[in-house]
Amino acid sequence: MESLKYVICFPFNDKYAKKCLEIEEVIEKILDLEGRKLTLLAKGTDSIVLSLDEKYALKVVRLDREISLLKEGMSLYILERNFKKTGIKIAPELYSFSKYHVLMERINGISISDFIFSASEDELKDALRSLLIYSLKLDSIRLSHNELSRPYHHVFFIKNREKITPIFLDFGSSTINGNNSNFLQISSALFLSKSRINERITKSFKIDEITQNKLRELLILYKNCFKKRCMQEEIEKVIEKILNIIFRQES
C-alpha cells in the first residue's frame, strides 16, 4: 500500500524516512489494509490517532518524537487481564501494540465535559458514582493514569440500554505500580477544583464550602491509606464516608 506512509507517518519528511519505513513494516505485519478506510482522528504531542473502518483506533508514534508506546500498550493489557473476567470494562479493548503503535477498540462515547452539561440530575449522579468506583478499581491494581486531574479528554461515558458507564482513554502517561491515586485526582478535579465542570457538579450536588472542607480532610485520609497500603477494611471505611458526603447520604 504505497500511500500508507503518507497516512501513518507524521510529520512526513525525508529526514524521518528510516523511522517511517520501520513503522510501515510493523503496521503491515499486523494489518491487511487493502480496501480498508484509514482516516485521521487526532494529532497529539507524541502521537497521532487514526480510525480504521470506524471500528478500531490506531495510535502511532509521531516521527519527530523519541517515545515508545510500549508502556501504554502494557497498561491496557494489564487492565484487560485484571478486569475482563469480571465483565468490567475500564478502557478500550486492546488488539496489539509495539513501541510504535497501539491498535485498540474505537470508543464512540461522549466526553466528560459534554456529558456533565447535557445529563439529567439522576444520570449525573449515577455516572459520577460509577466513575469514582472505576477510579478506585484502577487504584486497587496500582495502575496510575496520571492525567485524571485534567479528565476532559481522558474520560468518556457510554450510554447503553439506559446504563451509563465511564471509560478511561489515553494511558500514555500511565505508570504501573504507581504512587499517584486515580481516585484522588478525579475527586479533586470534579469536586474541589475551580472550573465550569466543578461549578455544574457542586451546584447539582449542593456541595458548599463546608462540605468541600470535609471532603478534603477525608481525601487526605485516603491518600495516607493509599500510600501506606492500609488494610482493605480501613480503606473501605474512608471511601464510604467520602461517597456519603458527595452523594448526600448523611447529614
What average pLDDT is seen over the chain? Answer: 91
At 138 the three-state DSSP class reads helix
Which pLDDT score, from 0 to 100, does residue 70 have?
96
Q: What is the mean pLDDT of residues 137-161?
A: 93
Residue 165 CA to residue 112 CA, distance in Å, equals: 11
User: Residue 99: is its pLDDT beyond 90?
Assistant: yes
Q: Is the pLDDT of residue 250 over 80?
A: no
Q: Which residue has the cell 500510600?
A: 227
Flag whether pLDDT at 124 surpasses 50: yes
| CA-closest candidate to residue 76, choices 107, 112, 45 | 107
* Per-residue pLDDT at 3: 67
Q: Is the pLDDT of residue 48 over 50?
A: yes
Whether the link from the prior residue into 166 is cis, omega within 30° of 0, is no
204-239 pLDDT, tens digit per residue, is 898 999 999 999 999 999 999 998 888 888 889 999
- Displacement of CA 35 from its chain's centroid (Å): 31
Q: From the centroid of its chain, how far is CA 198? A: 19
Q: For the chain, how big is the Rg over CA atoms in Å?
A: 20
CB contact at 8 A, 45 and 30 = no
pLDDT of residue 251: 38
Angle at 78 between CA 63 and CA 42, to 5 degrees: 35
Write out the H or E segment, with its range, that includes residue 114. helix 112-118
3-state secondary structure of 182: helix
Task: Tell me the percentage of the chain whose pLDDT exceeds 90.
Answer: 70
How crowded is the C-beta side of 137, counted as CA atoms within 13 Å?
Answer: 20
Phi, psi of 240, rounded to the nearest 5 degrees: -60, -40
Phi-psi region of 180 (alpha: psi -120 to 50; beta: other; left: phi over 0): beta
DSSP class of 12:
-
Averaged pLDDT for residues 17-37: 87
Q: Give me the mean pLDDT over the 24-33 stretch.
A: 87
Position with higher pLDDT, 30 vs 219? 219
CA torsion, ordered 106, 110, 113, 117, to nearest 10 deg: 180
For residues 111 and 42, the answer to whether their CB atoms sit within 8 Å is no
Please give the pLDDT value at position 223: 94
3-state secondary structure of 204: helix
| Predicted confidence (pLDDT) at residue 1 exceeds the cutoff of 60 | no
- Looking at residue 173, its pLDDT comes to 93
The Cα–Cα gap between 102 and 46 comes to 13
Nearest to 151 by CA among 116, 123, 122: 116
